[in-house]
Structure 1
Amino acid sequence: MADIRPFKALRYNTATENMSAVICPPYDVISPQQEAALLANDPHNFIRIEYAKTIPGDDETCNRYTRALSHLQKWLRDEVLKQDDKPAYYLHEHTYTFGGEKVIRRGLFARVRLEEWDKMIVRPHERTMAGPKKDRIKLIGTLEADTSPVFGLYQDDGRFIGSVLDQVTAWPEAIEFAGEPGESHRLWVITDVEAVSAIQRAFTEKPIYIADGHHRYESSLAYRNERNNLDPKIPPDAAVNFVMMSLTDMADPGLLILPTHRVIKGLSKNLLYILPERLREHFNVETLKASNGGWENLKTLMAEDSSRFFIFGLSGDDILSLTVKNQPKVEGFMPSGHTATYRGMDVSVVDHVVLEDILGMNAMDEERVAYDHDMDSTISRVKSGEFQFAFILKPVKPETIQAISDAKDRMPRKSTYFYPKLPSGIVVYRLRD
């Protein structure tokens, strides 16, 4: 199935550069505060390429994309960045702390042949929006490079790939560096002929599931199509026909998917008053008393496999736990054409039944709906009065992502949050042969 290949990555010259100071978060999670700190942190921080600043007066010849290209070209001339001599896979261990425990997630940087969705070789699970893709296509086209990887998942039931990677981790690591607070990284460069061949063979029978980076993948696909339309003689194995990915086993113990809670504001007092009654028309509503172990009960219930969801902010400090009364009736409020897996997800129930039908809102109304993957932050934003109440959702499991993808369905937007985000700047894939 998937065509996975090694590549000659552009990487920071570790003889002169401190990797801890030059990597940055992916473009879509960089806050203004982070942007300022990263720009001040190091003159070679990768944010100057990944997310160059927009300046008043920018035009077609001078803009954030041309500035990113200027940095890339200068850093290559100055050997801040250097291209590897041999094609390689790059094994990345991302160590982080969650819930007070140290966790390690393993990913393999590779270039993956771009495929149209209908071939079912690379499989998406979420819907995308046009705006972010325009930005990425422009950056890819200007730089002729993939600056940040698409995060992909694969199944390794026989651990054929895992056994090879286990051997690689016994090698002396090529590089070790710190990341965000509480995070660290190790990177191995895999050029061994037997290891490269074994990895490539193992993937020929596997599809790839997009975990994070749908916009990046679709941007690369659009850019490839654009280039091939302009020049139909581009060879099939040309660099532009591939995209850089970081690939992780679905069974990796470090794979963490956080829920994306919804926090709501801007509703009228009358609507808030009648909301509990309207909810009871469709849901069994149980109150988890905060004074009687309600938050501990919440943690237990969040681990169960059901379309149960929770609301905080409508009943003081207590939590409302909701389950569907009549599944066929509730499914009638959902868009047609979706699978039973989609219709059974708590995020689908909240978006389509509660937000759209009961509250008459657009689930993507960014004026009144915000998203937060951290429960403590979610609760705090309601208690502070910033938001009126919150929908607390359960995390999506990897097998749900697989089921949705295999059925050619798509989850609602903002259904998953893979934690932690992959940094940008560890490796770069050039689209030049």
Structure 2
Amino acid sequence: SYYVLRQRFSAPGGDRLERVGFFGALRLEEYANRVVLPHERTLSGPKADRLKILRATQANLSSVFMLYEDKSETLSAALAEALSGSAAITAADDGGIEHTLAPLVDRGAMALIRAFLMDRQVVIADGHHRYETALNYREESRGSGARRRDAEAPADRTLAYFTNAYAPGSLLLPIHRVIPKGPAPSTAEWRARLPGWSMHEVPFPEGAPIDALLDAHLARHRERPAFAADAGDGTLRIFTRPHAEELTIRLVHSEVIGGVLGLDDAAVRDGAVVFKKSAEVAARAVREEGASLALYLNALTPDDVFRVTGAGEVLPQKSTFFFPKLPSGLVFRVHDESRP
């Protein structure tokens, strides 16, 4: 069975948007099979905790957020029809997001979805730990000897939410980087350590809205590598370089965080970099909370995500923020349907 979810929300900047997707049971595939594609690597700790919950509940309480590529919006009409039915339920959360959930009962629409996704790759937008936990649970279930390995069981699937990455309401936002400790580079040091980049300085007076500054000075460089650096000294430094095949997020991690600041992957994992979804929060960390530096980024595009994952590669940790997040608890998937 499928459940269709529509989320109506306000984007940063005030535009009212809606994102439509659906919940279903996704057949688990090893990443090596190139059917389900990750876009980032995971840590072991969260997976251990999630595996304990899955063992105890024998249910998927949260979904894996999956992206598919459909520039023609093949499924849009079928999903919209389900939302117009009498079974649809609507509720708003504390953040002002309106959620409408409806069962998909039309067999033709179900067949269309299955046929559409049959031979397509899907990308994990959010929920890598949940997906890999489900893989571990599946192998654990197979190893118990309770069933034949070639017979499908509930543990062979997991609850997933699917949405079209190219639909108008699919909003992909940046995640900014804050460096809590250590000296920030001076203007001369920036120029010396990033010879391939151009830098220009913009006044950043106390109380100025960072979002407006980024819209004016960083957003216009979306088509090439660009980032902004803020050391809380009243100047916003905008860095750009000629078009390159490599994505800005990777260049920032290799050339800025690793090269200029000298922070390797282990240091990043240990908290030398803090991730902020809000530029305003990142700016406040530098100005009011003693952080050394904030690095502001433009958002990636769906093309960027599909290009990287299609090549069998991954992005640095916390490179993407698909807004809004999915609420937990709208749909559960119980493995043993005889349980109350």
What TM-score do the two structures reach when normalised by structure 2?
Answer: 0.89
Say if 2:296 is the partner of 1:380: no
Aligned to 1:253, the other structure's residue is in SS state coil
Say if 2:260 is the partner of 1:358: yes
Q: Specify which of 123, 135, 138 is matched with residue 209 of structure 1.
A: 123
Q: Specify which of 58, 62, 67 is matched with residue 144 of structure 1.
A: 58
Contact 2:21 2:163 in 1 (8 A): yes
Displacement of 1:130:
1.0
Contact 1:282 1:326 in 2 (8 A): no
Contact 1:95 1:105 in 2 (8 A): yes
Q: Specify which of 100, 103, 109 is matched with residue 23 of structure 2.
A: 109
Displacement of 1:198:
2.2
Displacement of 1:365:
4.8
Report matched runs for 1:173-322 at 5 Å: 173-231=87-145, 233=148, 236-268=151-183, 275-290=189-204, 296=212, 298-300=214-216, 301-303=218-220, 304-313=222-231, 316-322=233-239
Aligned to 2:49, the other structure's residue is in SS state helix
Question: What is the rounded CA distance, in whole Å, between the counterparts of 1:225 and 1:184 in structure 2?
Answer: 38
Say if 2:286 is the partner of 1:371: no
Cα 1:359–1:427 change in 2 (3 A) is same
- Percent sequence identity over aligned pairs: 27
Aligned to 1:395, the other structure's residue is in SS state coil
Contact 1:153 1:249 in 2 (8 A): yes
Contact 2:210 2:279 in 1 (8 A): no
Say if 2:32 is the partner of 1:118: yes
Q: Larger deviation: 104-113 or 286-295?
A: 286-295
Q: Which amino acid aligns with 1:386?
A: G
Q: CA RMSD in A?
A: 2.4
Say if 2:326 is the partner of 1:422: yes
Question: What is the rounded CA distance, in whole Å, between the counterparts of 2:163 and 2:253 in structure 1?
Answer: 29
Q: Specify which of 293, 301, 325 is matched with residue 389 of structure 1.
A: 293
Question: What is the rounded CA distance, in whole Å, between the counterparts of 1:152 and 1:180 in structure 2?
Answer: 25
Aligned to 2:328, the other structure's residue is in SS state coil
Aligned to 1:266, the other structure's residue is in SS state coil
Question: What is the rounded CA distance, in whole Å, between the counterparts of 1:280 and 1:242 in structure 2?
Answer: 47
User: After superposition, what is the alpha-carbon deviation per residue over 1:141-179, rounded to whole angstroms, capped at 9, x for unaligned?
Assistant: 111111100000112244332221122232224311122
Cα 1:134–1:286 change in 2 (3 A) is same
Aligned to 1:160, the other structure's residue is in SS state coil
Say if 2:249 is the partner of 1:347: yes
Q: Which amino acid aligns with 1:217?
A: Y
Displacement of 1:295:
6.7
Question: What is the rounded CA distance, in whole Å, between the counterparts of 1:424 and 1:326 in structure 2?
Answer: 40
Contact 1:108 1:248 in 2 (8 A): yes
Q: Which amino acid aligns with 1:239?
A: P
Aligned to 1:110, the other structure's residue is in SS state strand
Cα 1:132–1:405 change in 2 (3 A) is same
- Where structure 1 has 5 or more consecutive residues not aligned to the other structure, the ranges are 1-87, 328-339
Cα 1:201–1:311 change in 2 (3 A) is same
Displacement of 1:236:
3.3
Displacement of 1:136:
1.1
Question: What is the rounded CA distance, in whole Å, between the counterparts of 1:348 and 1:402 in structure 2?
Answer: 15
User: After superposition, what is the alpha-carbon deviation per residue over 1:312-335, rounded to whole angstroms, capped at 9, x for unaligned?
Assistant: 126x322111124796xxxxxxxx
What TM-score do the two structures reach when normalised by structure 1?
Answer: 0.71
Question: Which of these two proteins has the greater Rg computed from alpha carbons?
Answer: 1
Question: What is the rounded CA distance, in whole Å, between the counterparts of 1:294 and 1:273 in structure 2?
Answer: 20
Aligned to 2:274, the other structure's residue is in SS state strand
Cα 1:293–1:425 change in 2 (3 A) is closer
- Where structure 2 has 5 or more consecutive residues not aligned to the other structure, the ranges are none
Aligned to 2:79, the other structure's residue is in SS state helix
